[in-house]
Structure 1
Amino acid sequence: MATPAIPTITPARTALPAMDFQNAIVPLAPEPEALLARVQDAITAVRAVGGTIGHVRVAFTLDDWEAVPDRNMSFSAVAAAKAMHHEDATAQIHEAIAPRDEDIVVRKIRYGATSTRGLHEQLADRGIHTLILTGISTSGVVLSTLMDVADRDYSVYVLSDGVADRDPEVHRVLLDKVFPTRAHVIDTAGLHALLQAA
């Protein structure tokens, strides 16, 4: 069976969200420096053709911690530990991919990038209908965001070498078996080819 052709993109209606590339999270990824270099390269390429760059970070206020119910298996522990305060250095975006003034920057308090109230609205305001997902981790923010934005009818690409997970087998299964049912899985070389064809 032939592999379906990957559709071209319209740069002006495309965004690359860099998700959870934060000081406390980047070191948890396998080969973090190489990952950051690839994401930097992808961001530069998307900027060069007029695409939008987004930055999503997980960060909490005191009110956010207090609002997390005990039944939340993941974030109740974060709230109890008072971790990832929005002003702490640990919660800031890594300097290697620091945002620019024209970028979209949002804060979230759950796994998915669209758990924030701001991201989807800002994308809609800019006429964005295509997303190129990068992030840490594959089984966390990337999986959760992909499921949501696919249901919102975005055209979605996952940058296979721009995502990472501490569990290599989970990472492989998601990229090989789960993500292709909802997104086009490409690497940075494939992204460059897409942008050149746009």
Structure 2
Amino acid sequence: MAHHRSRRTPGSTAPALDPARTALLVMDHQPAILAFVPEGEDRNALLGGVEGAVVDVRANGGTIAYVRVGFTGTDWDAIPASNKSFAPLARHRVMHHEAPAAAIHERLAPQDSDIVVRKTRYGGMSTTDLDQQLRERGITTLVVSGISTSGAVLSTVIDAADGDYRLHVLADGVADPDTEVHDVLLHHVFPSRAHIIDTTELRDIARHCGAPVSLPSGRRRSAAIAVDERACVRPTTRGRRTATVRVGRDRRPTRTWQSPRKARRCPLSPAGATGTG
């Protein structure tokens, strides 16, 4: 069975994210569903990318929300014969919620502070309390990963967009057996509802825009870290200018000043932080 993952279009930009209001959705990364992704490099790349995204979002104060599919006997009995996708699963008693095949992959194991929900249809919200849990935590932005692009991801993106969430889809954090459908969704359907990014961009943003800078003695600690010329600054001003601290590869910070009108918000930084570029 064919499998395809894509990277985002170079040069595209996404709006700033506030980690305190952002959740990464990790959907259907379960052995029975991962079986549709070829073993070896493709599966390792998918799992490795999502694993890194989990680490980075969590480290910057974001929320991780896991969604998995699994059924009880009552769930199977409640699926009508008219449901073309799920009636066969009910008939053959597939994906029992306690079966190893329905567990979240061990590389993506949840922590106690994470959200974990169990669904009985494609979407992550339609048969769970995911939306309620997200709103109780003040989440307004979702970063979506999952399998498959045409199943869990499509259904969840549509539901979340209708719920007025700001959405980002990880192009290399989603996968689908049908390459044509996968490409149509990522390039022609999702962009009207979500920003398309990749795990590398998310990782870079998380590393560069969350941690406080350590300045030499006597210097003010008023800026966030900025590595390899990608800078994030907090609104520290002198007259009409804004301070920017850049930390180079030698880890030695240097301060520059510029007009605030050139500043833009830095993705995945706390609200109010800005970046220069």
Paired position in structure 1 for 2:31: 23
> 1:161 is paired with a residue of what secondary structure?
strand
**TM-score, L = length of structure 1:** 0.96
- Map 1:133-144; keep pairs closer than 5 Å: 133-144=144-155
For the residues of structure 2 that align with 1:115 and 1:49, how far apart are their CA atoms?
29
> How far did residue 117 of structure 1 move?
2.8
| Higher RCO (C-alpha 8 Å, min separation 6) | 1
Runs of 4+ in structure 1 off by over 6 angstroms are: none
Structure 1 residue 154 corresponds to structure 2 residue 168: no
| Aligned CA-pair RMSD | 1.2
Q: Which has the higher helix share?
A: 1
> How far did residue 10 of structure 1 move?
0.3
> How far did residue 4 of structure 1 move?
7.3
Say which of 120, 123, 126 aligns to 2:131: 120
Structure 1 residue 110 corresponds to structure 2 residue 121: yes
Q: Conserved in 1, the CA contact under 8 Å of 2:36 and 2:177?
A: yes
- Map 1:1-198; keep pairs closer than 5 Å: 5-30=13-38, 31-195=42-206, 196=209, 197=266, 198=269
Report sequence identity in percent: 55
Amino acid at match of 1:11: P
For the residues of structure 2 that align with 1:116 and 1:103, how far apart are their CA atoms?
19
> 2:125 is paired with a residue of what secondary structure?
helix
For the residues of structure 1 that align with 2:52 and 2:128, how far apart are their CA atoms?
28
Q: Conserved in 2, the CA contact under 8 Å of 1:9 and 1:194?
A: no
For the residues of structure 2 that align with 1:72 and 1:135, how far apart are their CA atoms?
22
Where does the alignment leave 5 or more consecutive residues of structure 2 unmatched?
A: 1-10, 210-265, 270-277
Count of paired positions: 196
> How far did residue 5 of structure 1 move?
4.3
Structure of greater Rg: 2
For the residues of structure 1 that align with 2:86 and 2:64, how far apart are their CA atoms?
27
For the residues of structure 2 that align with 1:86 and 1:20, how far apart are their CA atoms?
12
> 1:114 is paired with a residue of what secondary structure?
coil
Taking structure 1 as reference, are residues 193 and 8 closer, same or farther at Cα in structure 2, changes over 3 Å only? farther
Where does the alignment leave 5 or more consecutive residues of structure 1 unmatched?
A: none
Per mean C-alpha deviation after superposition, the further-off stretch among 187-196 and 128-137 is: 187-196
Taking structure 1 as reference, are residues 160 and 4 closer, same or farther at Cα in structure 2, changes over 3 Å only? closer
Paired position in structure 1 for 2:257: none
Amino acid at match of 1:38: G
> 2:144 is paired with a residue of what secondary structure?
strand
Q: Conserved in 2, the CA contact under 8 Å of 1:8 and 1:194?
A: no
For the residues of structure 1 that align with 2:32 and 2:12, how far apart are their CA atoms?
38
For the residues of structure 2 that align with 1:143 and 1:117, how far apart are their CA atoms?
16
Q: Conserved in 2, the CA contact under 8 Å of 1:106 and 1:116?
A: no
- Deviation string, structure 1 residues 36-80 (Cα, Å, up to 9, x no partner): 000001111101100000110000000000000000010000000
For the residues of structure 1 that align with 2:12 and 2:179, how far apart are their CA atoms?
26
Amino acid at match of 1:141: A
Q: Conserved in 1, the CA contact under 8 Å of 2:52 and 2:203?
A: no
Amino acid at match of 1:80: R
